[in-house]
A and B are shown apart, each in its own frame.
Chain A
Amino acid sequence: KQEVTQIPAALSVPEGENLVLNCSFTDSAIYNLQWFRQDPGKGLTSLLLIQSSQREQTSGRLNASLDKSSGRSTLYIAASQPGDSATYLCAVGGSNYKLTFGKGTLLTVNP
Chain B
Amino acid sequence: DTEVTQTPKHLVMGMTNKKSLKCEQHMGHRAMYWYKQKAKKPPELMFVYSYEKLSINESVPSRFSPECPNSSLLNLHLHALQPEDSALYLCASSHYRTVTSTDTQYFGPGTRLTVL
> Smallest Cβ distance from B96 to chain A, in angstroms?
8
In the assembled complex, which residues on chain A have CB atoms less than 8 Å from the CB atom of B27? none
Chain A at the B interface: SS class? strand
In the assembled complex, which residues on chain A have CB atoms less than 8 Å from the CB atom of B107? 36, 43-46
> Smallest Cβ distance from B35 to chain A, in angstroms?
8
Distance between Cα atoms of A93 and B109 in the complex (Å): 21
> CB of A99 within 8 A of chain B?
yes
Which residue of A41, A93, A102 contacts B103 across the interface (Cβ within 8 Å)?
A93
> Smallest Cβ distance from B57 to chain A, in angstroms?
12
Given contact pairs A44-B90, A89-B42, A97 touches B31 in the complex (Cβ within 8 A): yes
> Which residue numbers of A lie inside 8 Å of B, CB to CB?
31-32, 34, 36, 41-46, 49, 51, 89, 91, 93, 96-99, 101-104
Between-chain CB contacts (< 8 Å), 21 pairs? A31-B103, A34-B104, A43-B90, A43-B107, A44-B43, A44-B92, A44-B107, A46-B104, A46-B105, A49-B103, A91-B105, A93-B103, A96-B56, A97-B31, A97-B55, A97-B103, A99-B43, A101-B43, A102-B42, A103-B41, A103-B42
